[in-house]
Structure 1
C-alpha cells in the first residue's frame, strides 16, 4: 500500500486503487498524480475492507478480478455496509480486462458510475474519474445535508416524529388527530414545535425540506 507524494495539494481529490497487479497500480498512480490527485493503493479487496474508510475517498477504482474477495463481492459488501450504517459511499469505477454486457449492466444498476475495459485509454480514464469526482462533490454534500436534517429530527419527541410522518404524508390536521387519537389543537402544537426545531415556518416548507428523506430513517 502506498500514498500520494507529500507535495500533493492537501485538499486534492483522493482516489483509492484496488488491483492485485502491482504494475497496473503503479501506472495508475503515475497517471493520476499528473492531475495532482492523491492516490492510495490496495492489493486486495480485504485490505481495503479492513484498513480503509471509504468516506475518505472521492472515487474508488476497483479491478473486477481480484484474487480472494473479487471486485464485485467487494462492491456488494461496500453497498451493504453503507446501507446498514447509513454511511456515504463515494463513486465507484470498475476496471476489467474481461468486461461483458451483463456484467456492465449489473454494476451500473447497483450504482457504479462507470466501467472501463483494460487497458483503459488514459484520456478516457482521466475523464471518467473527473466525472466521478464531480458526482462525489454533489452527492457528498447532499448526504451530509441529509445527515444534518436527521440530527434535527432526532431531537424531536416520539410523538412529534409520529406527527411529522403524518404531515409529510400529506394529511391535514383533523386527519392526523383522528389517526393518532389526539385533539386537533394538540396536533397543531406538535406541528409548531416541529417547525421550530427543524427551522421552517410552514408545513409546506417542512415537506420540501424532507422531500428526499424517506420516513423510514426517522420512524
Structure 2
C-alpha cells in the first residue's frame, strides 16, 4: 500500500496510448487506493481538463497525434498546476531531462517497479496539495490586503521594511498612538497573530517586499 493516501478529490491521470500499460498502471494504482482516470490520447485528456482539477499526470513521452511533450507544453501554457511525471523508453531520456528543466516533476523509465511508481505518485500528490494550499493562502492574503485603507497600507508597508512605531509616525506625520491604532487594525484585518506571521504572508505574496 502507498504510504500516503490521496485526498478524496485528487485524481491520478494516466495518459498513454499503450492500452496494456495504461490498464495495468490504472489497476495497480487503484489497488493501492488511488482514484485513476485513464486517457488514450492527449486530446482525450484535454477534453476533460478543468481549472479546478487536482491530482497529477503520468504522461507517456511518445504518443500518436499530440505527443506527451506537446501536451506538457500546452498544460504550461494554460498554467495548469497538475504535477507531471513522464513515462519514457530508454531513448526518450534526453527529452524527459529537457522537460524536467521546464518544470516536470520527474520521469520514470519503462519497465518500472511498482514501488518506484507509487513513491512518485505519492510525492506528486503531496506536492500538488501543498502548492494548492499555498495558492489559496496567497489568494486570501490578497483579499485581505484589498480591505485595508490607504493609510493602513502605508503603515503596513513601513512595518514590512522593519520600521518601529516612532519611525512610522515620523514618516507619515502622525502620532505614535495613531500608528498603534492603525497597526492593530492591520493585524486584525490581515488575520495575523504575530508580526512574523504578517511579514511571512506579505513576502510570500509580494516576493519583492524587502524586510530589513
CA contact (8 A) 2:41 2:63 kept: yes
The 1:201–1:140 alpha-carbon spacing in structure 2 relative to 1, beyond 3 Å, is closer
Q: Return the alpha-carbon distance in structure 2 between the equivalents of residues 15 and 183 of structure 1.
A: 57
Matched residue, 2:3? none
**Aligned mate of 1:62, from 16, 38, 59:** 59
Consecutive unaligned residues in structure 2, runs of 5 or more = 1-5
Q: Return the alpha-carbon distance in structure 2 between the equivalents of residues 150 and 167 of structure 1.
A: 17
CA contact (8 A) 2:138 2:201 kept: no
The 1:104–1:157 alpha-carbon spacing in structure 2 relative to 1, beyond 3 Å, is farther
* TM-score normalised by the chain length of structure 1: 0.71
* TM-score normalised by the chain length of structure 2: 0.73
Q: What are the superposed Cα offsets for residues 159-203 of structure 1, whole Å, 9 maximum, x if unpaired?
A: 64465445434456647975xxx4345766554432220122554
Matched residue, 1:132? 124
The 1:155–1:66 alpha-carbon spacing in structure 2 relative to 1, beyond 3 Å, is farther
CA contact (8 A) 2:9 2:54 kept: no
CA contact (8 A) 1:12 1:37 kept: no
The number of aligned residues is 200
Instruction: Confirm or deny that 1:183 pairs with 2:173.
Output: yes
Bigger radius of gyration: 2
CA contact (8 A) 2:155 2:168 kept: no
CA contact (8 A) 2:141 2:190 kept: yes
Q: Return the alpha-carbon distance in structure 2 between the equivalents of residues 64 and 54 of structure 1.
A: 23
Deviation at 1:12, TM superposition (A): 7.2
CA RMSD between the two structures: 3.3
SS of equivalent residue, structure 1 residue 56? coil
Consecutive unaligned residues in structure 1, runs of 5 or more = 1-8, 83-87
Which residues in structure 2 correspond to 1:1-219 (within 5 Å)? 11=8, 13-53=10-50, 55-82=52-79, 89-97=81-89, 98-101=91-94, 103-157=95-149, 160-161=152-153, 164-170=156-162, 174=167, 182-185=172-175, 190-200=182-192, 203-214=195-206
CA contact (8 A) 2:9 2:55 kept: no
